[in-house]
Amino acid sequence: MKSILIIGAGQFGTHIAKRFTELRCDVMAVDIDEENINSILPFVTNAQIGDSTNAKFMGSLGIRNYDVCIVTISDNFQNSLETTALLKELGAKEVISRAANDVQEKFLLRNGADEVIYPEKQMALRIATRFASDNILDSIQMDSNYSIYEIRVPKEWIGKSIIQLDIRKKYNINIISLKRFDRFSMPLPDSVFMANDIALVLGELKDIKKCFKF
């Protein structure tokens, strides 16, 4: 069981807390607003009202004991930046901070964040990618180049096997899973595509566009 510290108990922090709790993690939430703490309390192991920019208060939390510290403050970037830096000073193992724009992302990385989450940008990319093509149902960005795409199998693939299509050699993308009748499975080279199949493919956007012609 991992121990998680979430600083910022707004809507975003609450969604994260709920998911960590579902995954059986030990979750501590911190926020300066009592109303936010009361709202998130049913979804966490413990919660405290306090100023995350106050070194004495933060030191009392035992920062080194948490596996991951997540800063989800959204309404005050200065506080987010100070909190991120303070967590590292207090020996946090891993700090993940939320950014609202590219400039914030750069400053957070320079001031102690091991990783920056940028939900608005990430969601915008997913939505734009999804609706740019009738074949793409969803996507998850893995790094600056590669993403996993949920693809509706094109009509020209139906009745053909993976080895016949030779997608990897022709387009430099990998088919990593196949969804059929709402169940995912690991495809084999001789797996034959059927109507209504959904494939999860890994590749760069330029190769995906070439393969699916959009």
Parallel/antiparallel/unpaired status of strands 136-141 and 146-152: antiparallel
CB 40 within 8 A of CB 29: yes
Tell me which of 140 and 32 has the higher pLDDT. Answer: 32
Q: Could you tell me the two tokens for 171?
A: 């387009």
- pLDDT the model gives residue 203: 92
Q: What is the DSSP string of 143-212?
A: SSSEEEEEEEPPGGGTT-BHHHHTHHHHHS-EEEEEEETTEEE---TTPBP-TT-EEEEEEEHHHHHHHH
- pLDDT the model gives residue 10: 93
pLDDT at 55 over 90: yes
Amino acid at position 127, single letter: I
Q: Compute the distance between CA of residue 71 and CA of residue 97 in angstroms, rounded to an integer.
A: 5
The pLDDT of 50-75, averaged and rounded, is 96
The pLDDT of 105-134, averaged and rounded, is 86
CB 193 within 8 A of CB 157: yes
pTM, 2 dp:
0.73
- Homologous superfamily of 122-212 in CATH? Regulator of K+ conductance, C-terminal domain (3.30.70.1450)
Q: Compute the distance between CA of residue 32 and CA of residue 21 in angstroms, rounded to an integer.
A: 21
Which single residue is written with the structure tokens 């936010």?
A: 36
pLDDT at 159 over 90: yes
pLDDT at 1 over 90: no
- Homologous superfamily of 3-117 in CATH? NAD(P)-binding Rossmann-like Domain (3.40.50.720)
- The domain segmentation of the chain, as residue ranges, is 3-117, 122-212
How much of the chain, in percent, has pLDDT values that exceed 90? 70
End-to-end distance of the chain based on CA atoms, in angstroms?
A: 44
Burial class of residue 97, CB neighbours in 10 A (0-12, 13-18, 19+)? buried
Band of the pLDDT at 90, cuts 50, 70, 90? very high
- pLDDT the model gives residue 182: 85
Amino acid at position 78, single letter: Q
162-206: per-residue pLDDT in tens? 999 998 999 999 999 999 988 889 988 899 999 999 999 999 988
- pLDDT the model gives residue 209: 85
pLDDT at 124 over 90: no
Q: Compute the distance between CA of residue 2 and CA of residue 27 in angstroms, rounded to an integer.
A: 8
**For residue 183, what are the β-bridge partners?**
180
